[in-house]
Amino acid sequence: MHCDLCKPLTVADLRDNDIYHHSTLAALRNSAESGCVMCNLFWTCLVTSESYNVDAFKTHLEGRFWGDEDKQALDGLTDTAVRLRAELHDNGAETMEEHFQSKIHVYSGRRHGPEINTELGSAVYGWVGLYARPDSPSARWVSGREVPPDPSSDSCFHFVTSWIETCDQHHGCSPGKETLLPKRVVDVRSSDQNAEPILRETRGVYGRYAALSYCWGEGQKYITTKETIAQFRSGIAMSKLSKTIIDAI
């Protein structure tokens, strides 16, 4: 169910404008409790925000503001309405940082001009991250995509393949040409699903490779040593690898 304010909302509406939503924070809460799924999402993002302040919420819900005794000095700074502002980037975004910033800001409270100012009193703020399906009209502005629960699914491989293709074709990325390989690489190219990956010593060979970057953690036992290198040249037992490495392979 969607309330009358949420029904007409579109990504295009939010793209370039601040949208005035419910007239008060209490009205947003009431709509969420009445069953509007969008209002419930906005309300939840506010009460779970890192900037959540119990006192600010209490005064806001009661229609009061810190510093009300100085109404003349604060004249024009109070805005009780809940406002929405989208942070979106079209498909022409030039940096990966921009691609992962699709979100809707939800806020209400004291303001100075167009900006919210938490130092002026009772302001509440939160944000909702966005994703869109590739075939959705919103995908033009929302670059985030749903994360499949199974990393070995076809959709995951499609995502990874498209990312690599983007890097290969992007003017600011490596063109993906063959380069001098590291001294040792793990060969995972076997078409046999049951075949074990093999450690290969490259000896100056050129090729293409991918590097897995993550925190190794402590207590790693299955590593390349003088005692294990001969075994790894024949095959690396998948059952002894960490789940992160297994998923990467």
pLDDT digits (tens, 9 = 90+) for 100-116: 567 888 877 655 444 54
- Tell me the two tokens of residue 69: 């005794």
pLDDT tens-digit profile of 186-199? 998 765 667 889 99
The token duo for 23 is 């007239």
pLDDT of residue 79: 60
Specify the higher pLDDT residue, 172 or 18: 18
* Span 107-155, pLDDT tens digits: 776 554 445 444 444 567 888 888 788 788 877 778 777 777 887 788 8
**pLDDT on residue 36:** 94
Confidence band (pLDDT; 50, 70, 90) for 33?
Answer: very high
Of the candidates 141, 140, 107, which has an alpha carbon nearest to the alpha carbon of residue 122?
107
pLDDT at 199: 93
Is pLDDT of 75 > 50?
no
The pTM score is 0.56
Distance CA 31, CA 40 (A): 8
Which ranges constitute the DSSP H helices of the chain?
11-15, 25-33, 37-47, 54-61, 96-99, 154-169, 229-234, 243-248
Which amino acid appears at position 44 of this protein? T
% of the chain beyond a pLDDT of 70: 77
Cα separation, 235 vs 79, in Å, equals 66
The pLDDT value given to residue 95? 47
Burial of 26: CB neighbours in 10 Å, binned 0-12, 13-18, 19+: middle
Q: Where are the domains of the chain?
A: 11-140, 147-176, 177-248
pLDDT at 176: 59
